[in-house]
């Protein structure tokens, strides 16, 4: 294998690459075999979040050539699919990461060279606004340069289709196949500036006005207009649009974190710009305690995911996980749709298969149809597309802090999520509650669900092989019980079979194939196992539940569930 890798690297020394790139490749060939392998042992592939990887030279890294090959391959594929269009249109956006503007401009130039009309944002913008722009301008595709919440060394390339959703099968694999046919000499770098239109603040205003139309409780906001909201973009793209949308909704007391308003791809104030991590919210939480805020919000670098914190019964700030926030949002949306007499029987909500079943319980109570889709928001977008004109999407999301309401955006949207969660907090406060009180009320009504995500990081080529072997072992020799509870059903999304362990009866799973296993236990525990599509990890999603007799029993019952989760983790690790 090492000889093949060296041959692959040698092509970069002889091909049409810039001198600095060749210098770096030469260094790897002569001095760093391990890094050479990591850089060239494979080509970057589309996962659940598109193309994502470490920046650097090589076929397995993000650089202007892998970006260029992806764009040329995507352009070729769009040309095949929309050959009857007079001119194919695409939109291009980027986040705050190092090299993101370079990669976005490179992408735009290549599209323009292929005689595409290109709408390029003048500066960094949230990913959901890119999704909206595709639909607004009637584009056939789009690209956003981002690595979401990954560490600063990463960047990425998300490709979108004409509905504003990320590309899914067969398009994702077909785009990959197109650029795998190409060499660097095939990339058309001959920019046609006349084909590129720069987008400014005018599209921001149009998008924000659409988000404002989602408001369901204007009276509550009017009563709670001074709700204390602490917000941080963690150096990312939410810096302007989130405060703007909150003001547009009617909130007047928005407290920023100046140090984190600075758009910086090195993310100098955090270890990782991930709103799932408490450390990333540290500065916002400090400010919230200082001013006695009502709610804390933090968006990731491309502002498609949001993490929140609210005061618990002891007056201390508690960070909610993605399942809890998603449950609150869905409950609020359905409650207000019901109160506003908007439910007609043709509405639905959606979640991913690894997201809490509490959302299913809530939807069932409101007699609103619920769909489960594979992990990745592109599958929610695909469902919205399939139901368009027949059923109305109210909202939904995934446990990894991504949510959506309405149909005019087709990706998770932290801008609208911040607005609607602030509105939910105002509505709760107007009714004498906090969001934390509302969450416990939901638990009392529907059951106390507790989830935990366990990530096992396995880096590099060896790690990839180890993850593959772990999945194969779970698939061929599954456990019979976990933590003393029998496994009653196994769902294998790769074989698309759901198996009743006692009867061995098999039912076909009506979802695309995916390398995911789910174990359902006799005590209603659900454990999902899958390799990450964007990071070198294997993920274990563990969910337990029980009845909650009263609000007074919450802390004791929650502690029992936490202890149960500990035991389950110990039994499977």
* Residues belonging to the active site: 148
In the numeric block, the tokens 């907090």 are attached to 425
- Interhelix angle 435-446/414-430, nearest 10 degrees: 90
Whether the Cβ atoms of residue 411 and residue 128 lie closer than 8 Å to each other: yes
b vs e for 220-253, b when ≥16 Cβ sit within 10 Å of the residue's Cβ? bbeebeebbbbbbbbbbbbbbbbbbbbebbbbee
Q: What is the DSSP string of 224-288?
A: TTT--EEEE-TTSTHHHHHHHHHHHHT---EEE-HHHHS--TT-TT-S---TTSGGGGHHHHHHH
Whether the Cβ atoms of residue 143 and residue 360 lie closer than 8 Å to each other: no
Q: What span, in angstroms and rounded, lies between the C-alpha atoms of 408 and 133?
A: 10
Whether the Cβ atoms of residue 98 and residue 136 lie closer than 8 Å to each other: no
Q: Give φ, ψ of 487 to 5 degrees.
A: -80, 125
Return the beta strands (E) in 463-563 as ranges: 481-482, 485-492, 497-500, 506-508, 517-521, 526-531, 537-546
**CA distances to 71, 265, 425, 514 from 234, in Å:** 29, 10, 22, 32
Nearest CA among 47, 105, 99, 108 for reference residue 74: 108
The Cα angle at residue 50 between residues 47 and 53, in degrees rounded to 5: 85
Q: What span, in angstroms and rounded, lies between the C-alpha atoms of 155 and 395?
A: 29
Q: What span, in angstroms and rounded, lies between the C-alpha atoms of 232 and 317?
A: 16
Contacts of 518 (CB under 8 A, 6+ apart): 353, 489, 490, 491, 493, 526, 527, 528, 529
CA 482 to chain centre: 30
């Amino acid at each position: 294998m090492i000889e093949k890798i060296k041959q692959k690297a040698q092509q970069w020394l002889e091909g049409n690459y810039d001198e600095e790139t060749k210098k770096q490749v030469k260094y790897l060939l002569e001095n760093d075999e391990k890094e050479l392998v990591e850089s060239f042992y494979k080509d970057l592939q589309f996962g659940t979040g598109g193309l994502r990887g470490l920046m650097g030279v090589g076929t397995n890294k993000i650089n202007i050539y892998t970006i260029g090959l992806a764009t040329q391959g995507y352009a070729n594929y769009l040309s095949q699919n929309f050959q009857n269009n007079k001119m194919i249109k695409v939109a291009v956006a980027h986040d705050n990461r190092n090299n993101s503007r370079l990669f976005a401009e490179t992408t735009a130039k290549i599209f323009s060279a292929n005689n595409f009309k290109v709408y390029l944002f003048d500066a960094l913008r949230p990913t959901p606004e890119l999704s909206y722009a595709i639909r607004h301008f009637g584009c056939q595709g789009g690209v956003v340069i981002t690595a979401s919440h990954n560490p600063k060394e990463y960047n990425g390339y998300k490709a979108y289709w004409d509905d504003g959703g990320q590309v899914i099968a067969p398009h994702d694999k077909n785009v990959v196949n197109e650029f795998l046919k190409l060499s660097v000499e095939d990339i058309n770098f001959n920019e046609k500036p006349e084909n590129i239109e720069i987008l400014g603040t005018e599209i921001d205003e149009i998008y924000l006005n659409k988000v404002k139309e989602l408001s369901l409780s204007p009276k509550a906001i009017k009563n709670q207009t001074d709700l204390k909201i602490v917000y941080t973009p963690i150096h990312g793209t939410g810096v302007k649009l989130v405060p703007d949308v909150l003001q547009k909704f009617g909130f007047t007391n928005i407290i920023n974190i100046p140090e984190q308003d600075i758009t910086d791809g090195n993310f100098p104030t955090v270890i990782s710009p991930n709103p799932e991590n408490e450390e990333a919210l540290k500065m916002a939480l400090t400010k919230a305690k200082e001013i006695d805020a009502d709610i804390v919000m933090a968006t990731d670098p491309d502002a498609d995911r949001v993490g929140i914190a609210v005061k618990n019964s002891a007056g201390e700030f508690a960070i909610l996980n993605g399942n809890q926030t998603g449950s609150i949002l869905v409950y609020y949306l359905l409650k207000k749709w019901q109160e506003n007499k908007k439910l007609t029987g043709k509405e639905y909500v959606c979640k991913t298969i690894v997201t809490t079943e509490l959302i299913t319980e809530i939807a069932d109570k409101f007699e609103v149809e619920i769909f489960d889709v594979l992990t990745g928001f592109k599958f929610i977008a695909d469902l919205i597309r399939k139901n368009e004109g027949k059923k109305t999407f109210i909202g939904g999301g995934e446990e990894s802090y991504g949510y959506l309401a309405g149909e005019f955006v087709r990706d998770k949207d932290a801008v609208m999520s911040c607005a609607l969660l602030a509105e939910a907090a105002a509505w709760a406060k107007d009714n004498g509650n906090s969001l934390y009180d509302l969450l416990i009320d939901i638990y009392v009504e529907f059951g106390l669900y507790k989830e935990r995500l366990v990530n096992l990081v396995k880096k590099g080529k060896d790690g990839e092989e180890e993850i593959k072997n772990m999945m194969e072992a779970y698939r061929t020799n599954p456990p019979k019980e976990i933590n003393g509870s029998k496994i009653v059903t196994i769902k294998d999304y790769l074989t698309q079979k759901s198996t009743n362990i006692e009867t061995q009866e098999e039912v076909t799973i009506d979802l695309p194939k995916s390398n995911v296993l789910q174990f359902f236990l006799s005590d209603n525990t659900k454990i999902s196992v899958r390799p990450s599509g964007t990071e070198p990890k294997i993920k274990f999603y563990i969910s337990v539940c029980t009845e909650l007799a009263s609000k007074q029993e919450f802390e004791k019952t929650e502690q029992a569930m936490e202890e149960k989760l500990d035991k389950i983790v110990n039994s499977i690790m």
